[in-house]
């Protein structure tokens, strides 16, 4: 029969004929159709007796290239030939026999059907990309070397067997189909396992209950990873959730954590809220906790799993004790990328621990996340003492990138004069003005003199002196114990910028203060408050032996209610100050001339006389300070003369307000 199958390859011998040679010669004499029919008939006879052929005979028979053995086997499948067809499938051991094995599952011969199922699982094991340790135990004994089928061919064959699962009742194809789902889902027109996905998504398919039972009960790490993939809007989502909640060892945790990025799917993230993690096991417990969504320790996990752990620890409702245990173990993890991932997802105070990481990349990344510079008004406005201490430590960090970030970090000091400190003040000014005023007032009421002066100046510059009247009144009173004259002088100057009606009355104790600077600032503040009204006190002080108080009184007299300079009211007194024998009075006279002449609305004769006097001081003055101020005033007057006769505004106070308004507008635009 083998010779009949291979007749076209056998030469016709003229001598030493055997009986088979005479038969072959008779066949050669016929036409092509007759020869093919004889070959197919002989091959069919061999298939029905395949189990009784020796391996050598099988190999010789398979060399008949004009016989399609698999197609012939599909036509010969039956209950009587099941054993021989099963032997044929095992001997061919090639992907071409997949349709034959799928059809063979439906025969009544249980042994033959089991052998066909084993062949399908063998082909599945060869085609899968799943690592051997992750595979189900049932599949391990079928992992033999050999040619592997393509995924689309295997998927079509398994889909055919699942359609008849109620007939053959073999669960091996269901397991193989489930393992094929361990891959990303490409577009439908390019998905090689589209038939399998269609079956898994159909709750009415006869194989759906088998697939659901395997997904829930199989302990293989690959099945847990597949359940993680199916945890979304899918009919098997609840079964997948039950499988994910059950873990056995580190390999099962690896299977899920290596694909932690899948939590970015919103539907999957929504289902994970039903999961609950367990706290770390008690060292005194008799047995450790093994049934938990997340591992209780990072020991035994692969590098990829440790890198995915922080994403799930922060996304799943992890137990606080578990989160703390994982955090402390990660700080000493040898893998830099693992620490970097934890620095990416770790929130709150724990993030500061990674700022001191030995790796420059991890430390800089953590410091950028920890820093409040440029992160918006809410976060930049609240700087705790603990955060300030960390910033000071980071300023001494061994890596330059961290040090540069720490230098820009706002400190806990509200009176920080650095650029970051100014940004913080502007942020607090736009978000919580009363709180900023209250905190600055606390600094002004107690502490070192320099810091109290800085607090008053800052509040005055930002315009947050509302509610400060009692505080400033106490600071300018000489009877208040422990008040430095510098603090009192600053408080007296601040009272001049208040809109409170009681500010003038609060200045009264300052006129009796023993320090001349305090009295001079009180005169200046009173002039700002009254603006040309009730000038009797200024007339009295304009002859004071104190040069600052005298100059401030004359400045108040020389301003009308609109704030414009009027040289008729103080011109003669200003001339006398410029000609005074005392250098301090001449210096104050030049200071006053610069503030009156440069803003005078007209250049009449009195103005020109005073300007010539200042110019003579710039040439002839012996005192260096007075001469330098006179030179500066002369240059401004020269510029004033070269312009048309028009009033100029006093920009001394407006300059600060304009600058702060510009800062506030730029900040509002930045945070928008």
What is the rounded CA–CA span in Å between residue 403 and residue 607?
57
Residues in the chain: 672
* Residues with Cβ within 8 Å of residue 557, at least 6 apart in sequence: 535, 538, 539, 542, 569, 570, 573
- Residues in contact with 661: Cβ distance below 8 Å, sequence separation at least 6, in sequence order: none
H or E, element range at 439: helix 433-445
Q: Which residue has the higher pLDDT, 456 or 284?
A: 456
Angle, CA 269 vertex, CA 265 and CA 270 arms, to 5°: 120
3-state SS string for 636-672: HHHHHHCCCCCCCCCCCCHHHHHHHHHHHHHHHHHHC
* SS3 state at 390: helix
CA 317 from centre of chain: 19
3-class DSSP state of 602: coil
* Residue 133 scores a pLDDT above 60: yes
pTM of the shown model:
0.60
> In this model, does residue 280 exceed pLDDT 60?
no
Least confident of 56-65, 253-262, 627-636: 56-65
What's the whole-number mean pLDDT along residues 611-631? Answer: 87
Q: Average model confidence (pLDDT) for the chain?
A: 81
For 453, the 3-state DSSP assignment is: helix
Rounded Cα gap, residues 302 and 297, in angstroms: 12
SS3 287: coil
Per-residue model confidence (pLDDT) at position 642: 65
* pLDDT-above-90 percentage for the chain: 20
| Out of 186-195, 360-369, 372-381, 412-421, least confident range | 372-381
Say yes or no to pLDDT of 285 above 60. Answer: no
Mean pLDDT of 369-383: 59
Q: What is the mean pLDDT of residues 121-135?
A: 87
Q: What pLDDT does residue 300 have?
A: 85
Greater pLDDT, 140 or 566: 140
- Evaluate if residue 414 carries a pLDDT over 90: no
pLDDT digits (tens, 9 = 90+) for 452-490: 999 999 999 988 888 899 999 999 988 888 889 999 999
Residue 591 parent element (H or E): helix 583-597
Section 111-133 average pLDDT: 89
Q: Which residue has the higher pLDDT, 554 or 288?
A: 554
Residue with tokens 């000493």, as numbered in its chain: 332
Predicted pLDDT of residue 281: 56
- How do residues 390-408 score in pLDDT, each as one tens digit? 888 888 889 898 888 887 7
Confidence band (pLDDT; 50, 70, 90) for 498? confident
pLDDT of residue 581: 87
Of 12-21, 507-516, 574-583, the poorest mean pLDDT is in 12-21
- Across 412-421, b (16+ Cβ under 10 Å) vs e yields eebbbeeebb
pLDDT grade, residue 643 (50/70/90)? low
Highest mean pLDDT among 304-308, 344-348, 496-500, 529-533: 304-308
Q: What pLDDT digit, counting tens, does each position of 421-457 carry?
A: 777 788 788 878 888 899 899 999 988 999 999 999 9
27, 35 Cβ separation under 8 angstroms? yes
Instruction: Give the highest mean pLDDT range of 177-186, 409-418, 534-543.
Output: 177-186
CA neighbor of 156 nearest in space, from 115, 129, 185, 120: 120
pLDDT-wise least confident of 22-36, 471-485, 527-541: 22-36
DSSP labels for 120-171? HHHHHHHH--S-GGGS-HHHHTT---S----HHHHHHHHHHHHHTHHHH---
CA 176 – CA 613 distance, rounded (Å): 106
Name the residue among 513, 610, 589, 489 with its Cα closest to residue 547: 589
Burial of 275 (0-12, 13-18, 19+ CB in 10 A): middle
Using CA atoms, how far apart are residues 67 and 72, in angstroms rounded to an integer? 8
pLDDT for residue 602: 67
- Tokens matching residue 148: 């592997």
Contact 257, 244 (CB under 8 A): no
The beta-carbon contacts of 468-474 under 8 Å, at least 24 apart in sequence, are 468/437, 468/441, 468/444, 468/494, 468/498, 469/498, 469/500, 469/502, 469/503, 469/506, 471/441, 471/444, 471/445, 472/498, 472/506, 473/506, 473/509
Residue 31 or residue 125, greater confidence: 125
**Segment of 77-81, 163-167, 316-320, 414-418 carrying the highest mean pLDDT:** 163-167
Q: Which of 209-223, 225-239, 600-614 has the lowest mean pLDDT?
A: 600-614
Q: Give the separation between CA 262 and CA 653, rounded to whole angstroms.
A: 60
Over range 170-179, report the average pLDDT. 92
Q: Give the rounded distance of the alpha carbon of 464 from its chain centre.
A: 36
């Amino acid at each position: 029969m083998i010779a009949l199958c291979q007749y076209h390859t056998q030469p016709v011998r003229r001598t030493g004929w055997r009986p088979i040679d005479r038969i072959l010669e008779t066949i050669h004499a016929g036409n092509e159709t007759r020869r093919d029919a004889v070959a197919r008939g002989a091959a069919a006879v061999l298939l029905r007796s395949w189990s009784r052929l020796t391996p050598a005979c099988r190999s010789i028979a398979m060399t008949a290239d004009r016989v399609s053995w698999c197609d012939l086997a599909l036509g010969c499948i039956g209950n009587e030939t099941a054993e021989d067809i099963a032997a044929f499938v095992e001997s061919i051991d090639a992907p071409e026999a997949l349709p034959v094995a799928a059809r063979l599952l439906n025969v009544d011969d249980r042994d033959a059907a089991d052998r066909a199922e084993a062949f399908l699982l063998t082909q599945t094991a060869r085609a899968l990309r799943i690592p051997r340790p992750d595979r189900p135990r049932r599949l391990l004994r079928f992992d033999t070397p050999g040619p592997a089928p393509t995924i689309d061919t295997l998927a079509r064959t398994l889909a055919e067997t699942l359609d008849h699962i109620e007939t053959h009742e073999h669960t091996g194809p269901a397991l193989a189909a489930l393992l094929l789902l361990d891959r990303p889902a490409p577009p439908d027109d390019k998905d090689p396992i589209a038939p399998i996905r269609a079956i898994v998504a159909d709750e009415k398919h006869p194989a759906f209950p088998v697939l659901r039972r395997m997904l829930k009960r199989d302990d293989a790490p690959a099945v847990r990873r597949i359940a993680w993939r199916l945890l979304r809007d899918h009919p098997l989502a609840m079964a997948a959730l039950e499988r994910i909640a059950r873990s056995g060892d580190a390999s099962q945790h690896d299977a899920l954590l290596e694909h932690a990025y899948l939590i970015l799917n919103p539907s999957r993230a929504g289902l994970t809220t039903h999961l609950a993690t367990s706290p770390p096991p008690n060292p005194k417990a008799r047995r450790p906790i093994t049934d938990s969504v997340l591992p209780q320790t990072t020991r035994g996990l692969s590098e990829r799993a440790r890198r995915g752990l922080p994403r799930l620890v922060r996304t799943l409702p992890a137990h606080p004790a578990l989160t703390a245990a994982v955090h402390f173990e990660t700080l000493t993890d040898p893998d830099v990328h693992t620490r970097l991932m934890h620095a990416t997802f770790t929130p709150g105070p724990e993030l500061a621990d990674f700022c001191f990481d030995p790796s420059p990349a991890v430390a800089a990344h953590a410091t950028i996340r920890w820093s409040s510079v440029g992160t918006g008004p809410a976060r930049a406005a609240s700087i705790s003492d603990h955060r300030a201490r960390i910033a000071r430590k980071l300023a001494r960090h061994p890596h330059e990138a961290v040090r540069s970030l720490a230098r820009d970090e706002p400190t806990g000091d509200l009176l920080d004069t650095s650029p970051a400190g100014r940004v913080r003040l502007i942020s607090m000014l736009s978000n919580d003005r009363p709180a900023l005023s209250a905190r600055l007032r606390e600094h002004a009421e107690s502490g070192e003199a320099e810091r109290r002066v800085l607090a008053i100046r800052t509040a005055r510059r930002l315009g947050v002196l509302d509610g400060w009247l009692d505080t400033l009144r106490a600071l300018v009173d000489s009877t208040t114990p422990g008040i430095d004259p510098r603090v009192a002088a600053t408080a007296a100057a601040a009272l001049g910028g208040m809109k409170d009606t009681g500010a003038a009355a609060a200045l009264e104790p300052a006129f009796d203060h023993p320090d001349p600077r305090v009295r001079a600032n009180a005169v200046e503040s009173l002039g700002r408050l009254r603006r040309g009204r009730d000038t009797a006190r200024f007339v009295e002080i304009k002859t004071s032996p104190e040069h600052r108080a005298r100059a401030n009184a004359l400045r108040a007299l020389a301003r009308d209610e609109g704030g414009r300079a009027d040289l008729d009211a103080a011109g003669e007194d200003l001339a006398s100050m410029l000609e005074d024998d005392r250098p301090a009075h001449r210096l104050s006279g030049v200071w006053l001339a610069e503030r009156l002449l440069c803003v005078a609305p007209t250049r009449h004769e009195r103005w020109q006389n005073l300007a010539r006097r200042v110019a003579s001081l710039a040439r002839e003055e012996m005192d260096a300070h007075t001469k330098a101020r006179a030179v500066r005033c002369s240059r401004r007057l020269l510029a004033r003369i070269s312009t048309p006769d028009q009033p100029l505004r006093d920009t001394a106070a407006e300059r600060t307000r304009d600058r702060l308004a510009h800062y506030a507008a730029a900040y509002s635009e930045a945070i928008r």
